[in-house]
Chain A
Amino acid sequence: MAIATLAAAIVTVGIFSFLYRDNPFYRACEHLLIGLSVGFSLVLLWNSVLIPKLLQPLFVEGRLPAMIPFVLSLLMLLRLKSSLSYMSKPVLALVIGSGAGVSIPAMFEARVLRQIAASVEPFGVVGDGSVSALMLLGMLISLVGVVTVIVYFFYTRPDTKAFNGASQIGIYFLMVFFGATYGYTVTSRLTLLIGRIEFLLGDFLHLL
């Protein structure tokens, strides 16, 4: 048997051993996983970003503007020294500020305007004969769902019967969403389990 398959099988069983209870074998695998993941990502970031976008332009090609991100990077590294970590604040602020700026128009259009439009646009074709009674029912239910769920999350709403009733209906829509998501999540997780069993029975034990 290939040593690679054996290694994969040992760590697979190690992680599965948690199902019985927490144990040293599982703990060892867990810590190995953390270390490998961090090491893997550090190397990838170094090779994919820091060399081509920072070190090569500055030290190989001698491009002076690359000094700016180099200085910003050095400031970020000061986070490792607690007495100097405050120096990294402007760098973080730069990233957070621009992240916020870039998200405002994009999110407002993609998640608010387009979604509101999608809730009401289908009603525009109701008269042209392409919408069946069942489709119309679905459209109406969807519209009620969107409105009542928004009302449910509207915490400063007036304490009136209409708003509270709408909020109650919103709960039922949320339950449908969470139930459906649970159904799909179970499906997903079972697939991952089947994948590992396929590995153990097939690649490792050659039973499949």
Chain B
Amino acid sequence: MISRLAWIATLVTGLFMVAQYFIKTDATNAVYTTLLDYYQIIFAVSMIVGGIGLLKQHSLKVQRSSQQRRYSLITIAAILFMVIAAVIFGTGAASPYQWAFNNLQAPMQATTFSLLAFFVASAAYRGFRVKSAPAFVLALAAVIVLVGKSGFGEMVSQQLPAIAGWVLNNPSTAAKRGILIGVGIGSVATALRVILGIERSYR
């Protein structure tokens, strides 16, 4: 019963959204904008469900595992700190909520991603060994972009940035365009399968 209702909901809303692209009346627009509002609300609620789920998962870890307990406690404390701080002190520029974001969360996020600089360098050492013709082309394209788009590129030769630009705008763009067209067709096919109930990812 619930599954059938879910499929009907998919079919009706899916077909409506396709039709609405072509048929724009006041009535269809009203339904369409109302639905857009609902999606934002449902998305927000689903994120809250996710947040509560994470809290539950870490609470279980605290109860079960002695080794991981301290780390789970940190996660739980951090979630609760942000929520309670926002409730008590608000979210203004001088609030503890913003302070934690600016001085703990943002620096840690940035540092986590900056670690990737070391790992891509490590990948460069091992992964760019020229053992075949395609591997040579891969390494050559990387080197052209690295040098051509660096600050030294034009100091070495005025032609280097131009060559890098040509590679980026022609063969590289062509490959990405081929991928885009393929992904586009694939996405449309998948969307049709979802609307028609062949693919039921909500199960």
Contacts and interface: CB of A to CB of B under 8 A. Distances in A.
**Tier of interface size on chain B:** 35 or more
B137 A176 contact: yes
B155 interface: no
A175 B112 contact: no
A69 B46 CA distance: 13
A102 interface: yes
A41 interface: yes
Contact of B10 (A30, A96, A170, A187): A96
Contacts, number: 384
Contacts of B76: 35
Interface string B87-126: 0000100000101111111011111111111101100100
A32 B17 CA distance: 41
Nearest to A41: B47
Nearest to A6: B103
Interface string B4-44: 01110111111111100110000000000011011111111
A41 B2 contact: no
Contact of B6 (A16, A31, A93, A175): A93
A175 B138 contact: yes
Given A42-B82, A53-B37, A146-B174, A33 B105 contact: yes
Nearest to B47: A45
Nearest to A5: B103
A148 B167 CA distance: 17
Contact of B12 (A30, A47, A97, A180): A97
A173 interface: yes
A7 B146 contact: no
Interface of A: 4-5, 7-8, 11-12, 14-16, 18-19, 27-47, 49-50, 53-54, 65, 68-69, 72-73, 76-77, 79-80, 86-87, 89-108, 110-112, 115-116, 118-119, 138, 141-150, 152-153, 170-187, 189-190, 192-193, 195-196, 199
18 contacts: A31-B72, A36-B105, A40-B100, A54-B41, A89-B6, A98-B13, A98-B14, A101-B16, A107-B191, A112-B185, A138-B169, A145-B171, A170-B175, A180-B167, A183-B142, A186-B117, A186-B146, A196-B114
